[in-house]
């Protein structure tokens, strides 16, 4: 009877029979996607079978169940079909869904909302290039020059331990070599990509990290997962602890000329393979004491051993990036990069809506790049003054207000409460 009530029955996997002439193919990648969907949502679509337990619809779901190690699967028996009807339904069930279309505007809204809710949109079945095409934000230059940065405040509102919410981004004031701080920044999200510009060319005071206190006067770091304070013979820091806490597969790490080898060693010791050395060709030279004046900076592009690059870029790109250097910012940050130095890796190795990790936020350049490119940035910065710079820079660029997660206050409210004298000065400007 074709109109008989349908009943879901769980059957052992090894009792089901695949249709010998099933014309629908399932790649390993697609089976993995189905398995991920079942893991996330459970069984939403039972396998359809005939009276002889031959599969009519659900060969891919059966393969996914086997991959997940399941013993039983839900089935619905379609009784009363003729042989011709059964064979026709096997084809129609696969083909009819392909004839549907998408309302691109509504699809984009749904995907962006899910991304804002920190849902893993890779579970939806779209590949990275499809997501990039669908979710690509409308071209926007923001409300200010993206490379424009505010001056560093003498009395910052931010304190160690703060978590700032900047729209879809998170910025933590803390130590990126500390496990608890990184967990705060990620908030359960697993970014696949890290784009960062760690401190170099400056003295590294390892002792200060150990003495740093949060807003409650407690030590910032418990010592677990914290840098050992190892100082290279050129007085620069070893950031191995920070690389070890990054959970993703792909990283772009800018560095100074003298740190090229040490950063490479650190990344390889942390489980990454060197893919390319990116060279930023500057529009102007930097006057130095040597015989040659430097006109470039370098960046390691690395991928975790056994991982993939998640490449979303085209095949025309080279390792030489000719990008104009911005005019000196108010921060006086001598190593500050143009936003494009961070935006290009983000476009090349992630899709709109995905998360990007930045353990050394500085003045917030990677946050601005993520804002431009429609990604969420999970960032950490140890210096409270630079946290303020990043917060106010983003507020001016995006035209929105940052919120302190713990209290729900805006930046100006926090500034008025913690630094009333600084607030008065800010109002006079």
pLDDT tens string 52-111: 999 999 999 999 999 999 999 999 999 999 999 999 999 999 899 899 999 988 999 999
**CA dihedral for 309, 314, 316, 317, sign (positive or negative):** negative
Helix axis angle for 411-418 and 384-398, nearest 10°, is 150
Residue 205 structure tokens: 């005071």
pLDDT beyond 60 at 223: no
pLDDT of residue 280: 96
Give me the residue label for tokens 């370098």: 298
Q: Which domains does the chain have, with CATH numbers?
A: 8-99 (3.90.1530.10), 137-428 (3.40.50.150)
249-286 per-position pLDDT tens digit: 999 999 988 899 999 999 999 999 999 999 999 988 87
Give me the residue label for tokens 């079945």: 125
Residue 298 structure tokens: 């370098």
The total of other beta-carbon atoms located within 10 Å of residue 385's CB is 17
pLDDT of residue 257: 87
Within 187-324, residue ranges assigned H as helices are: 206-211, 240-244, 260-269
Give me the residue label for tokens 């630079």: 386
Check residue 232 and report its DSSP letter: -
The candidate with the shortest Cα–Cα distance to 149, out of 316, 365, 313, is 365
Let me know: does 343 contact 369? Beta carbons within 8 Å: yes
pLDDT beyond 80 at 406: yes
Q: What does each C-alpha distance from 93 to 55, 74, 85, 200 come to in angstroms?
A: 12, 18, 12, 59
291-320 per-position pLDDT tens digit: 898 899 999 999 999 988 889 888 999 999
CA angle 157, 161, 165 (to 5 degrees): 70
Let me know: does 272 contact 303? Beta carbons within 8 Å: yes
According to DSSP, the β-strands at 72-77 and 47-49 are: parallel
Let me know: does 192 contact 248? Beta carbons within 8 Å: yes
pLDDT beyond 70 at 146: yes
User: What confidence tier does 326 reach under pLDDT thresholds 50, 70, 90?
Assistant: confident
């Amino acid at each position: 009877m074709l109109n008989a009530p349908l009943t879901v029955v769980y059957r052992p996997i090894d009792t089901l029979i695949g249709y010998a002439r099933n014309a629908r193919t399932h790649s390993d990648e697609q089976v993995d996607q189905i398995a991920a969907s079942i893991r996330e949502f459970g069984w939403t679509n039972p396998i359809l079978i005939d009276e002889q337990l031959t599969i009519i619809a659900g060969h891919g779901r059966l393969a996914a169940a086997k991959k997940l190690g399941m013993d039983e699967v839900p089935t619905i028996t379609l009784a009363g079909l003729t042989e011709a009807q059964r064979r026709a339904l096997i084809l129609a069930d696969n083909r009819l869904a392909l004839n549907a279309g998408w309302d691109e505007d509504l699809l984009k809204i749904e995907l962006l909302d899910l991304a804002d809710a920190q849902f893993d949109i890779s579970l939806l079945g779209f590949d990275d290039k499809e997501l990039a095409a669908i979710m690509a934000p409308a071209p926007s230059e923001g409300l200010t020059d993206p490379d424009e940065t505010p001056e560093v405040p003498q009395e910052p509102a931010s304190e160690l331990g703060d978590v700032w919410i900047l729209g879809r981004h998170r910025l933590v004031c803390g130590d990126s070599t500390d496990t608890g701080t990184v967990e705060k920044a990620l908030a359960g999200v697993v970014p696949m990509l890290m784009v960062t510009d760690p401190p170099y060319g400056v003295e590294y005071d390892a002792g200060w990290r150990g003495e740093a206190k949060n807003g409650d006067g407690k030590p910032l770091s418990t010592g677990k997962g914290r840098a050992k304070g190892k100082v290279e013979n050129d007085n620069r820091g070893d950031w191995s602890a920070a690389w070890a806490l990054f959970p993703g597969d792909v990283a772009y790490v800018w560095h100074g000329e003298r740190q090229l080898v040490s950063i490479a060693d650190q990344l390889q010791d942390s489980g990454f393979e060197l893919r390319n050395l990116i060279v930023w060709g500057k529009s102007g030279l930097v006057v130095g004491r040597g015989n040659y004046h430097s006109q470039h900076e370098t960046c390691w592009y690395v991928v975790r051993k056994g991982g993939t690059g998640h490449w979303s870029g085209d095949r025309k790109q080279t390792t030489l990036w000719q990008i104009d250097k911005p005019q000196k910012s108010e921060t006086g940050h001598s190593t500050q990069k143009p936003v494009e130095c961070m935006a290009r890796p983000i476009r090349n190795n992630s899709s709109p809506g995905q998360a990007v990790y930045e353990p050394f936020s500085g003045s917030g350049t990677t946050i601005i790049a993520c804002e431009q490119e429609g990604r969420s940035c999970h960032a950490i910065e140890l210096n409270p003054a630079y946290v303020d710079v990043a917060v106010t820079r983003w507020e001016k660029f995006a035209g929105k207000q940052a919120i302190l997660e713990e209290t729900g206050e805006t930046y100006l409210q926090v500034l008025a409460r913690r630094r009333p004298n600084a607030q008065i000065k800010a109002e006079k400007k």
